[in-house]
């Protein structure tokens, strides 16, 4: 199946009370592990690519070409969206031109009116090409690719205004943080989420910072309108842990254990394991 945008995925997730996982990719192994798991579990999936990861993989066109070709060569039949994660105004335009099927325009650090104006412009451009748009209100805490959020909780009134611009998904800060949650984290702000849901009737909501959020909070967030959950750090941690174990056990020194296809295999399986755990937790298994 060719790349799809996120519209139908989000509609079905909202009606079926589950969430689609958006997993960040960094290279071929990441992409292959996530696509393979989605296919095995018959789950829809979104591949998130930050601007930093796009740069690392040498450009938007390279990423789009790789993902499209892998979907074909791996016979992937579940719905896959290729989604720009935390796009700037310029990055969003590049991703649109390169053939991404979905983009996030993150104007949350702009003054609100500027966020509105730029989001409107990106929506018009993306929709003219059948590409879905996620917008953001209120910074999300933590650090990702050098972007430090303030951990704000979004204002439901601002959410309503941005949701009214014709966007397809809305990321609203509710005390979530990118990366590992600190021991003193207060948890998600469900009162804020309920207020946002009430204001933005029917708008699929996006939960960033999916790493380490306990299952009960994930389930409650889904019951309050969350249809897409972003996971990045946890795939990195599973990859790191499995790779470290392989090297610490001296496996890279045995036979051809230095072959990158062997060296990266445990980390690859680690990514598959955490993606499976998350898809089961989010309820997207067998929803393709
Ligand atoms: P984590 O790295 O905390 O899983 O967050 C991912 C994310 O929100 C990507 O936008």
Task: Decide if 168 is catalytic.
Answer: no
pLDDT at 182: 85
d(C-alpha 36, C-alpha 238), whole Å: 16
pLDDT at 60: 98
Q: Which of 105, 169, 210 has most ligand 1 atoms within 8 Å of CB, for mutation?
A: 210
* Full 3-state SS string of the chain: CCCCCCHHHHHHHHHHCCCEEEEECCCHHHHHHHHHHHHHCCCCEEEEEEHHHHHHCCCHHHHHHHHHHHHHHCCCCCCEEEEEEEECHHHHHHHHHHCCCEEEECCCCCCHHHHHHHHHHHHHHHHCCCCEEEEEECCCEEEECCEEECCCECCHHHHHHHHCCCCCEEEECECCECCCCCCCCCCCCHHHHHHHHHHCCCCCEEECCCCCCCHHHHHHHHHCCEEEEEECHHHHHHHHHHHHHHHHCCHHHCCCCCCHHHHCHHHHHHHHHHHHHHHHHHCCCCCC
Question: What residue's CA is closest to ligand 1, atom 5?
Answer: 209
Q: Which of 145, 179, 213, 235 has most ligand 1 atoms within 8 Å of CB, for mutation?
A: 179
pLDDT at 144: 53
pLDDT at 150: 44
Closest ligand 1 atom, residue 179 Cα = 3
Q: What six digits make up the tokens of 102?
A: 């979905």
Indicate if ligand 1 lies below 6 Å from the C-beta of 233: yes
Q: How far is residue 238 from each of residues 13, 58, 76, 242, 264, measured CA to CA in Å?
A: 27, 25, 24, 6, 12
Number of Cα atoms under 13 Å in the Cβ half of residue 67: 34
What's the 211 CA to ligand 1 centre distance in angstroms?
Answer: 6
Residue pLDDT, tens place only, 99-143? 999 999 999 999 999 999 999 999 999 999 999 999 999 755 555
Instruction: Give residues with Cβ within 8 angstroms of 58, minimum separation 6.
Output: none
pLDDT at 149: 44
d(C-alpha 175, C-alpha 187), whole Å: 7
Closest ligand 1 atom, residue 208 Cα = 8
Q: Indicate the pTM of the whole model.
A: 0.95
Question: What residue's CA is closest to ligand 1, atom 1?
Answer: 209
Indicate if ligand 1 lies below 6 Å from the C-beta of 85: yes
d(C-alpha 274, C-alpha 161), whole Å: 36
Indicate if ligand 1 lies below 6 Å from the C-beta of 231: yes
Closest ligand 1 atom, residue 234 Cα = 4
Indicate if ligand 1 lies below 6 Å from the C-beta of 212: no
Closest ligand 1 atom, residue 176 Cα = 3
What's the 181 CA to ligand 1 centre distance in angstroms?
Answer: 11
pLDDT at 148: 47
Stretches where the chain sits below pLDDT 50 are 148-150
């Amino acid at each position: 199946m060719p790349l799809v945008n996120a519209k139908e995925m989000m509609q079905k997730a909202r009606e079926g009370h589950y969430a689609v996982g958006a997993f960040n990719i960094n290279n071929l192994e990441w992409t292959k592990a996530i696509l393979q798991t989605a296919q095995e579990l018959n789950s829809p999936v979104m591949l998130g690519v930050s601007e930093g990861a796009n740069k690392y993989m040498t450009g938007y066109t390279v990423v789009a070409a790789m993902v499209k070709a892998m979907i074909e060569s791996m016979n992937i039949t579940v719905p896959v969206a290729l989604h720009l994660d935390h796009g700037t105004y310029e990055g969003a335009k590049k991703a649109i031109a390169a053939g991404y099927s979905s983009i996030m325009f993150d104007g949350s650090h702009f003054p609100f009116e500027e966020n509105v104006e730029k989001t409107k412009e990106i929506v018009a451009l993306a929709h003219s090409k059948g590409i879905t748009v996620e917008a953001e209100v209120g910074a999300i805490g933590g650090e990702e690719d050098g972007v430090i959020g303030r951990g704000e909780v979004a204002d439901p009134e601002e959410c309503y205004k941005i949701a009214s611009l014709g966007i397809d998904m809305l990321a609203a800060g509710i005390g979530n943080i990118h990366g590992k949650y600190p021991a003193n984290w207060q948890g998600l702000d469900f009162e804020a989420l309920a207020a946002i849901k009430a204001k933005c009737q029917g708008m699929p909501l996006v939960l960033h910072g999916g790493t380490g959020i306990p299952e009960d909070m994930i389930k409650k967030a889904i019951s309050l309108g969350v249809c897409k959950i972003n996971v990045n750090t946890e795939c990195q941690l599973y990859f790191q842990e499995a790779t470290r174990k392989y090297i610490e056990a001296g496996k890279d020194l045995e036979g051809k254990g230095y072959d990158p296809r062997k060296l990266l295999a445990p980390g690859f399986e680690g990514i598959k394991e955490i993606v499976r755990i998350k898809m089961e937790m989010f309820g997207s298994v067998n929803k393709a």
